[in-house]
Chains A and B, each alone.
Chain A
């Protein structure tokens, strides 16, 4: 008697949770889009709503820091990024952005320390390295001015360091330059995970190849994001029904293993580096990229090839292999 209502309750709870998760994901994308459009107050409002439900959400807090920076509220942005470094000392991005804010205020010593932390947590962070170089050069110039008694006034504004625009940005280089003029890999990443393949269908035929490429990249990014946010359901949903399970294992077993691997680590960070999309004669998309994987226990990277097919306007993985 009592088992069925319990199951129903469980199913209902799961549904609510999924809806909430979906809602949260959507409001994050909304806020991100609003930020890109320059609608900062709306972006902030959206992200605050999200944060009132999930106050610890790292990505949302990170985005809030970016919005506050754009709103020219460095003190508030510094607070946001500082608490992020306290809560997630292993993430380089908040340290980097904290450093950018400090540097913009002429506090180079603090900027230097933050960047050194960013590099300590993530030795290959290109942006942090570049920024640290700039900070060192700026500090050197200050020291020289003191050595030679030069008063160059408020030269602090001359340094423009790069903010990292995306948490878990890995090795890709967003933030510098316009995404539209950069290569496809960078563009895809800068557009983030927000790309919606459905919207590309209506585009003119001449642009359909580009639209397909974008949609494929969006799928790959979405897959990485689902993995990074440890959302096993969303992650597994990127695999097509016809997915070739490695080693000929039963799909169910493979899924169970994957779930386990995704849930267990406290933190996962998957990055897509320099993705190259091509299409084969069957219309399948072949995406080659550098996959970075970092968890609390493991830090690896390698070349990966994903093959995707389009099922009902949705690009799904049929084959996955390390090359």
Chain B
């Protein structure tokens, strides 16, 4: 009896392994997997993603059948997980003939395949995220009691972190894979297909039935451009958190026009906890983990600067009060000189001033300059005027002193 040496014969199974080892070596995506260790146990991520990562790690370990099993079972529940379909294609094709790259599809654009490869890499990078309970997110210096959670977007890890406000160090709750703008971070202009970098909050909710299928299970516009963006002349609008179309489980890491796109499942889970008009979102290049004592010392520094500002305002010593303002300060069209003149005039007409500051939110602004955003309720009363308002101040470190660079109603 002739003994055809086909697939799965001892010799050619070896070549199958070699083919995928070549894939692992050649394809940037699979190569990433070579250096990975299994994800930590405390992570809260979506089940389909966890299955996909397990499959990719199986490929690294030459466990192709197990990889295909994981892919098949995740596709049962999520048939529109395109990256999973691509990996499935590779695993099947490797059984039919040797392959030497990831994504061997004929047809489709090179851009599409590249997008899915990027997603594979992003998902693997995400599998390495390991939130340390003993570390704190530096951006979240202080949250007011009413704020239930805060979001931090780490663009290099394509990840949106969710933190719960505990009154002390924010506690990690979950993290989600996200898509950002095609051209990356730091939006400057309308239509530049970038996602802004900065401190924002969720301003409203657009329900599913008011939107086309493109936005999936809902949309949550954020406050871009914020006061600091406007001061710097940045424009554009319509930066939303939103879901994916019905036929798409997830999109590549850089694919939107600037919006932050989550899977519908993840968006729905997040939406339950969002506080419209308040939940803060810090969008950064990368997450900044720090020791809680460092975060606390920065928080204390800023809080005492704000307290000194409040105290000097109450003292009606305009010079002392105005020393808290930065040289390039602006507020609603006033520069520092105009603002100073106005304050001198107003304070002179008062016999007393009382200022109470409550519900303080203190967030560090991502970027090169050291800036913090303070948002609080200001309860102002004086001999001739009383007023209660939400105020927002942008503090900048200038000559090693925190000074206000913008101030206005929140």
User: Is A191 positioned at the interface, with any CB of B under 8 Å from its CB?
Assistant: no
A119 to B4, alpha carbons, bound, how many Å?
12
User: Which residues of A sit under 8 angstroms from B271, Cβ to Cβ?
Assistant: none
**Chain A, 86-139, CB within 8 A of any chain B CB:** 119, 123-124, 126, 129-130, 132-134, 136-137, 139
Question: Are the C-beta atoms of B97 and A147 separated by less than 8 Å?
Answer: no
Of A130, A150, A172, which one neighbours B6 at CB under 8 angstroms?
A: A130
Given contacts A136-B93, A136-B95, contact A147 B105 (CB under 8 A): yes
Using a Cβ cutoff of 8 Å, how many contacts connect chains A and B? 106
User: Is B385 positioned at the interface, with any CB of A under 8 Å from its CB?
Assistant: no
Most buried by B among A129, A139, A140: A140
Question: Are the C-beta atoms of A148 and B2 separated by less than 8 Å?
Answer: no
**Chain B, 79-96, CB within 8 A of any chain A CB:** 79-80, 82-83, 85-86, 88-93, 95-96
CB distance from B59 to the nearest CB of A (A): 15
CB distance from A159 to the nearest CB of B (A): 12
Of all chain A residues, the one with the shortest Cβ separation from B1 is A292
A145 to B97, alpha carbons, bound, how many Å?
18
User: Which residues of B sit under 8 angstroms from A144, Cβ to Cβ?
Assistant: 85-86, 89, 103-108
A145 to B95, alpha carbons, bound, how many Å?
18
A205 to B90, alpha carbons, bound, how many Å?
58
A210 to B54, alpha carbons, bound, how many Å?
61
**Chain B, 93-146, CB within 8 A of any chain A CB:** 93, 95-97, 103-109, 112-113, 116
Of all chain A residues, the one with the shortest Cβ separation from B92 is A140
A290 to B80, alpha carbons, bound, how many Å?
50
Given contacts A133-B6, A291-B1, contact A143 B112 (CB under 8 A): no
A145 to B83, alpha carbons, bound, how many Å?
11
User: Is B214 positioned at the interface, with any CB of A under 8 Å from its CB?
Assistant: no
User: Which residues of B sit under 8 angstroms from A134, Cβ to Cβ?
Assistant: 96
Question: Are the C-beta atoms of B96 and A129 separated by less than 8 Å?
Answer: no
User: Which residues of A sit under 8 angstroms from B109, Cβ to Cβ?
Assistant: 148
User: Is B247 positioned at the interface, with any CB of A under 8 Å from its CB?
Assistant: yes
Of all chain A residues, the one with the shortest Cβ separation from B71 is A143
User: Which residues of A sit under 8 angstroms from B1, Cβ to Cβ?
Assistant: 124, 170-171, 271, 273, 290-292, 301
User: Which residues of A sit under 8 angstroms from B113, Cβ to Cβ?
Assistant: 148
User: Is A152 positioned at the interface, with any CB of B under 8 Å from its CB?
Assistant: yes
Of all chain B residues, the one with the shortest Cβ separation from A271 is B1
A35 to B106, alpha carbons, bound, how many Å?
39
Question: Are the C-beta atoms of A147 and B2 separated by less than 8 Å?
Answer: no
Question: Are the C-beta atoms of A148 and B6 separated by less than 8 Å?
Answer: no
Question: Are the C-beta atoms of A132 and B7 separated by less than 8 Å?
Answer: yes
User: Which residues of A sit under 8 angstroms from B108, Cβ to Cβ?
Assistant: 144, 147-150
A264 to B8, alpha carbons, bound, how many Å?
33
A257 to B96, alpha carbons, bound, how many Å?
46
Question: Are the C-beta atoms of A133 and B95 separated by less than 8 Å?
Answer: yes
User: Is B3 positioned at the interface, with any CB of A under 8 Å from its CB?
Assistant: yes
Of A140, A145, A149, A271, which one neighbours B96 at CB under 8 angstroms?
A: A140
User: Which residues of B sit under 8 angstroms from A139, Cβ to Cβ?
Assistant: 88-89, 92
CB distance from B101 to the nearest CB of A (A): 13
Question: Are the C-beta atoms of B86 and A147 separated by less than 8 Å?
Answer: yes
Of A119, A142, A149, which one neighbours B8 at CB under 8 angstroms?
A: A119
**Chain A, 269-296, CB within 8 A of any chain B CB:** 271, 273-274, 290-292
Most buried by A among B86, B93, B103, B109: B93
Question: Are the C-beta atoms of A152 and B2 separated by less than 8 Å?
Answer: no
Given contacts A124-B3, A136-B93, A144-B89, contact A129 B79 (CB under 8 A): no
Of all chain A residues, the one with the shortest Cβ separation from B91 is A140
Of A148, A170, A271, which one neighbours B82 at CB under 8 angstroms?
A: A148
User: Is A41 positioned at the interface, with any CB of B under 8 Å from its CB?
Assistant: no
User: Is A146 positioned at the interface, with any CB of B under 8 Å from its CB?
Assistant: yes
CB distance from B120 to the nearest CB of A (A): 11
CB distance from B84 to the nearest CB of A (A): 8
Of A133, A145, A147, which one neighbours B7 at CB under 8 angstroms?
A: A133
Of B2, B6, B91, which one neighbours A274 at CB under 8 angstroms?
A: B2
Most buried by A among B83, B88, B91, B113: B88
Question: Are the C-beta atoms of B83 and A147 separated by less than 8 Å?
Answer: yes
User: Which residues of B sit under 8 angstroms from A274, Cβ to Cβ?
Assistant: 2
Of A126, A132, A301, which one neighbours B4 at CB under 8 angstroms?
A: A126
User: Is A54 positioned at the interface, with any CB of B under 8 Å from its CB?
Assistant: no
A139 to B68, alpha carbons, bound, how many Å?
12
User: Which residues of A sit under 8 angstroms from B116, Cβ to Cβ?
Assistant: 147-148
User: Which residues of B sit under 8 angstroms from A148, Cβ to Cβ?
Assistant: 82, 86, 105, 107-109, 112-113, 116
A129 to B1, alpha carbons, bound, how many Å?
16
CB distance from B390 to the nearest CB of A (A): 46
> What are 6 A-to-B residue pairs whose CB atoms are below 8 Å?
A132-B7, A144-B85, A148-B82, A171-B3, A271-B1, A290-B1
* Chain A to chain B: the 6 pairs with minimum beta-carbon distance, closest first: A292-B1, A148-B108, A144-B105, A129-B6, A301-B1, A143-B89
New contact pairs (18) apart from A146-B80, A148-B112, CB-CB < 8 Å: A123-B8, A129-B7, A136-B96, A140-B90, A143-B89, A144-B103, A144-B106, A146-B79, A147-B83, A147-B89, A148-B116, A150-B108, A152-B107, A170-B1, A171-B1, A274-B2, A301-B1, A301-B3
